[in-house]
Structure 1
Amino acid sequence: MLTASGCGGTGRELAQFFDVTRLGAFVTRSITMAPRAGRPTPRMAETPSGLLNAVGLQGPGVEAFLTQELPWLAERGARTVVSIGGGTVAEYTALARRLADAPGVTAVEVNLSCPNVEDRGRVFARDGSSAAEVVASVRAATRYDVPVIAKLAPDVADIVAVARSCVDGGADALAMINTPVGMSVDVDTMRPSLAAGTGGLSGPAIRPLAVRCVWQVHAALPGVPIIGMGGVTSGRDALEFVLAGACAVAVGSALFHDPYACPRIQRELEELLTERGFDRLADAVGLAHHPPGSGPRGRTDLEESSL
């Protein structure tokens, strides 16, 4: 059980409610090279079964993160996945170099839902070759010492093709999905609900879309570890992702109204697995792809090592 990027603050906020070391990993907000103020307000708007946000990559920059935020997590023994975002391949590379030797970094998550300023603002995640170039640069900059996770967006014609490109570029695992782009209009003001116009949609409304993406990518790349996310609010939601092919699950917007969501969902998931006769979560990963009635199954050493 992980937090989704941008939904757990710096870790201090969640630590008021539960021990963050109990998480599979704490995923940071996307860190950038320089400080960013983010987008203008209003930044968030509720939608049916969802939440739109256009916060932008607000943050203090990588130097402040390394001196003020990462040490706090490292001192507590939290497994920390550092999400990074940039506008150029060079910026991603520089970020990865700064993080490669930082104590306490468990893995680097490459947020590919950023506009490429060198390619007319096209989002990296929407082009397989661009996404692969970023992943390869991060992979090389970390000197292969730190696992690299590519975070994919669903707003693409063929998510399997993009996933394959990222794996070919050196990604050790895939995280999906990032928020799809959505919009709402306030009928009272007759203006967009968000100052930016559009924003990322999260919450239960996107779960079927996220499960579909995990299902397709696992079917095409069964040996690649997948972190599933998108509208997870209960153990049943988490199990759905696992059965579709995810070997880990991240919780995002549910944390905004239930800061205890991660330990609660993990407990519910464990109970559901026990009720269904599973001794290990690994035995349930991708089971929905197998013939009906196959039930809990064992794994080979190779399959187990990939998880």
Structure 2
Amino acid sequence: MSHLNVNFLGIPMASPVIGASGTVGFGLELADYVDLKKVGALSGKGLAPTPWMGNNGVRIAETTSGMLNCIGLENPGAPYFLEHYLPEVKKLPTIFIANMVGKSVEEYAECAAMLTVPGISALEVNISCPNVKVGGAAFGTNPKQAAAVTKAVKDASSLPVIVKLSPNVTDIVSIAKAVEDAGADAISLINTLLGISIDIRTRKPILGNITGGLSGPAIKPVALRMVWQVSKAVHIPVCGLGGVMTGTDVVEFMMAGASTVQVGTANLADPSAMGRIVNELDEWCDKNNVRDVNEIVGTLKA
């Protein structure tokens, strides 16, 4: 499988397949189900400077070809992770990326500084959080706010910074360019799409938060489109995600311009999904005489 090796942000990875934040825990939960030596990296559950409780009520709802969630970024906080989880995470045979969240620019910077420690290879910055200092808007929907968070994280950490973009915007390219100009080392996209599910018996929303993030195969065409648009517009690597269920899904994202590809909802349906997906990607490369998986990045003829 040597032809699946990639170098992402100067980090050697066994394959371009990465476990997406929110679906792999901190990696320890999947160690019995996946040969992690084949997985390029794991992006851990989003961490804030202090513990977050998450949302009340029903937090998961199945939909056609996907699911809605409104977990609310529940997490134990970065200090707890560093003390109780990181020592074990370091023993895993793959790269660990710390996903991080915040409620203000200052919190993002604080969390970035906390997580800049041995055992963490990069930071993935989730900017789809409500900005409590600016009327509840999400950082990821405003180019200036997105840039401010990116710069603050870059100033606070020496690690490579991947900024995870929200698809709930009119112009994804303007956000991508803003974070690139602010110093982002890479971009990951897409995060979940905003949706709602209704219980027709009660005439009420199924989710306790009313709306939630849509993920799974239903969003793959949107994700591919945005990866293609952004990869053409920026000069930094792109990590694609959204509805990846098979090895050929990975191929599509790489052809659209992604250097690496994250697997999310598939892990919730099948804890062994990433191992299967890496094997399917390997088989596709063999059948199509692809000696180096990096050769297919950005080869979409459009």
TM range (shorter): over 0.9
Residue by residue, what CA displacement relative to the aligned partner does 1:213-264 show, whole Å, maximum 9, x if unpaired? Answer: 001011212x321111000000111111011000111100111121111111
Alignment of 1:166 onto 2:176: no
Alignment of 1:64 onto 2:64: no
2:94 & 2:277 partners in 1: Cα distance?
Answer: 19
Kept after mapping to 2: 8 A contact 1:21/1:79: no
- Code of the aligned partner of 1:135: T
After TM superposition, the runs of 4+ consecutive aligned structure 1 residues lying more than 3 A away are none
The CA deviation at 1:30 is 0.7
Alignment of 1:266 onto 2:278: yes
TM-score, structure 2 as length reference? 0.92
In structure 2, list runs of 5 or more residues that go unmatched.
Answer: 1-16
Kept after mapping to 2: 8 A contact 1:84/1:110: yes
1:282 & 1:147 partners in 2: Cα distance?
Answer: 20
In structure 1, list runs of 5 or more residues that go unmatched.
Answer: 291-307
Kept after mapping to 2: 8 A contact 1:219/1:289: no
The CA deviation at 1:77 is 4.2
**What residue in structure 2 maps to residue 293 of structure 1?**
none
Kept after mapping to 2: 8 A contact 1:85/1:92: yes
Kept after mapping to 1: 8 A contact 2:39/2:278: no
The CA deviation at 1:76 is 2.9
**What residue in structure 2 maps to residue 275 of structure 1?**
287
SS of alignment partner, residue 58 of structure 2: coil
Given candidates 96, 106, 110, the residue that maps to 1:94 is: 110
1:164 & 1:81 partners in 2: Cα distance?
Answer: 23
Cα RMSD after superposing both structures: 1.1
RCO (CA 8 Å, sep 6+): is it higher in 1 or 2?
A: 2
| 1:1-307 alignment, distance < 5 Å | 1-100=17-116, 102-142=117-157, 145-221=158-234, 223-289=235-301
Residue by residue, what CA displacement relative to the aligned partner does 1:86-138 show, whole Å, maximum 9, x if unpaired? Answer: 010000000011112x1101100000000111100110000111001100100
Alignment identity in percent? 42
Kept after mapping to 1: 8 A contact 2:42/2:95: yes
TM-score, structure 1 as length reference? 0.91
Matched residue pairs, number?
Answer: 286
**What residue in structure 2 maps to residue 300 of structure 1?**
none
1:126 & 1:186 partners in 2: Cα distance?
Answer: 29
Kept after mapping to 2: 8 A contact 1:26/1:78: yes
SS of alignment partner, residue 105 of structure 1: coil
Kept after mapping to 2: 8 A contact 1:244/1:289: no
- Code of the aligned partner of 1:248: T
Residue by residue, what CA displacement relative to the aligned partner does 1:244-301 show, whole Å, maximum 9, x if unpaired? Answer: 00011110011112111111111111211222221111100010046xxxxxxxxxxx
The CA deviation at 1:150 is 0.3
- Code of the aligned partner of 1:25: A
2:228 & 2:279 partners in 1: Cα distance?
Answer: 24
1:28 & 1:231 partners in 2: Cα distance?
Answer: 18
Kept after mapping to 2: 8 A contact 1:235/1:267: yes
Residue by residue, what CA displacement relative to the aligned partner does 1:42-101 show, whole Å, maximum 9, x if unpaired? Answer: 00000110100000111111110101112211133431100100010000000011112x
- Code of the aligned partner of 1:287: T
The structure with more helix, counted as a fraction of residues: 1
Kept after mapping to 1: 8 A contact 2:48/2:101: yes
2:93 & 2:289 partners in 1: Cα distance?
Answer: 32
